[in-house]
């Protein structure tokens, strides 16, 4: 078990890696464009932020300077009461742009169930998300990520969630943004159910944010992650690379990253894949770096396979 990281340790690591971060930035300008790029989900640092060791405003700075990453995905829980605070958002945008970091999306939680059986609560949940659409647009994001929670039978939940999701998507579309649903518990972690929901919404601005690891439907049921990913990739406008722990060779111990990324590649996806480290054995910075190394290694492996056999493209 590694020792607990203090605020001083965290900041010292960031400073020590500053030069390396800029070196990666310069090297990236001359390197060929990879078939996917790597971003950082803010949840990867949730313990560090909640403990006060990292100011959420500094997240894009840390993403670049500490980890050499060029894009980020925010989590609304870290600035829950600041969605309409333009001074706060302006400062967050300034820090991201100052580092050359692209803001991709805001992950939105705790705003009600978009598929609530009560029409008034469902409408309120939709409207609760409006401020995050507006905040995401201000920050230069392409999407917000939402949950598709509901209640009732398989078909009833799909119909109710589609109603709320369609209304929110129409609002987001008017602002030039997408609404993405993550497999995030309940029936949303059933790949067939979520894919059917997106088809039912039937809007080009409504898609998925497949997460490699969120396939637990209930206490006793877990959906197959590889089948689920394959079902959600046709609608993906982002991908979350969940990670928990790593073996001595740097492989994720619960998930086969080669198999997962082959599914992503076969779907023709060429966007960002966001690191979302959620383990406990490694501290958060170490877990993020381990995930980054794994993504880079498998990315290179699959790119080489494609060069050898064009049928893999």
Residue 313 pLDDT class (50, 70, 90 cuts): low
According to CATH, the superfamily of the domain at 34-312 is Divalent-metal-dependent TIM barrel enzymes (3.20.20.150)
DSSP string, 41-107: EGGGGHHHHHTTSS-GGGHHHHHHHTT---EEEEEGGGGTT-TT-HHHHHHHHHHHHHTTPEEEEEE
36: helix, strand or coil: coil
Q: Is 312 or 150 the better-scoring residue by pLDDT?
A: 150
Tokens of 180: 């993405």
Domain parsing of the chain, residue ranges:
34-312
Helix (H) or strand (E) holding 217: none
- Whose CA is closest to 191, among 233, 159, 153, 161? 233
Question: What integer pLDDT is reported at residue 147 of this predicted model?
Answer: 98
**Residues contacting 57, CB < 8 A, separation 6+:** 88, 91, 92, 95
Two tokens, residue 268: 């023709």
Which pTM value belongs to this model? Answer: 0.90
- Look at residue 31 and tell me whether its pLDDT is greater than 60: no
Percent of the chain exceeding pLDDT 70 equals 89
**Given pLDDT bands bounded at 50, 70 and 90, which one contains residue 23?**
very low
Q: Which DSSP symbol is given to 274?
A: E
Burial 136-153 (b: 16+ CB within 10 A, else e): bebbebbbbbbbbbbeee
Q: Is 202 exposed, middle or buried (0-12, 13-18, 19+ CB in 10 A)?
A: exposed
Q: What is the mean pLDDT of residues 265-294?
A: 98
Asked whether the beta carbons of 102 and 141 are under 8 A apart, the reply is no
**Buried/exposed code over 76-87 (b: 16+ C-beta within 10 A; e: otherwise):** bbbbeebbeeee
How would DSSP label each residue in 13-27?
A: HHHHTHHHHHHHHHH
Closest by CA to 75, choosing from 123, 126, 111, is 111
Q: Is the pLDDT of residue 2 over 50?
A: no
- Which parts of 224-264 are beta strand (E)? 239-243
């Amino acid at each position: 078990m590694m020792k607990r990281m203090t605020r001083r340790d965290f900041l010292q690591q960031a400073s020590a890696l500053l030069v390396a971060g800029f070196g990666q930035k310069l090297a990236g300008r001359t390197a060929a464009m990879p078939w996917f790029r790597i971003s950082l989900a803010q949840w990867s640092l949730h313990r560090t932020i909640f403990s006060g060791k990292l100011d959420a405003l500094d997240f894009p700075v840390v993403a670049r300077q500490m980890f050499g990453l060029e894009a980020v995905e925010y989590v609304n829980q870290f600035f829950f009461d600041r969605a309409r605070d333009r001074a706060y958002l302006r400062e967050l945008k300034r820090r991201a742009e100052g580092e050359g970091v692209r803001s991709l999306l805001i992950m939105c939680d705790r705003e009600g169930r978009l598929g609530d059986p009560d029409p008034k609560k469902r409408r309120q949940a939709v409207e609760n998300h409006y401020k995050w659409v507006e905040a995401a647009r201000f920050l230069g994001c392409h999407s917000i990520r939402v949950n598709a929670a509901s209640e009732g039978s398989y078909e009833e939940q799909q119909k109710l969630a589609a109603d709320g999701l369609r209304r929110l998507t129409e609002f987001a579309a008017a602002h030039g943004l997408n609404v993405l649903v993550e497999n995030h518990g309940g029936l949303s972690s059933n790949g067939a159910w979520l894919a059917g929901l997106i088809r039912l919404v039937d809007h080009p601005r409504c898609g998925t944010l497949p997460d490699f690891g969120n396939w637990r439907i209930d206490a006793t049921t877990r959906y197959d992650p590889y089948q689920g990913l394959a079902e959600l990739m046709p609608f993906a406008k982002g991908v979350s690379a969940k990670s928990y722990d790593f073996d001595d060779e740097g492989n994720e111990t619960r998930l086969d990253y080669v198999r997962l990324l082959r599914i992503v590649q076969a779907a023709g996806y060429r966007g960002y894949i966001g690191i979302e480290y959620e383990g406990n054995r490694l501290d958060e910075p170490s877990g993020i770096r381990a995930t980054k190394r794994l993504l880079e290694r498998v990315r290179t492996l699959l790119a080489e396979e494609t060069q050898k056999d064009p049928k893999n493209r």
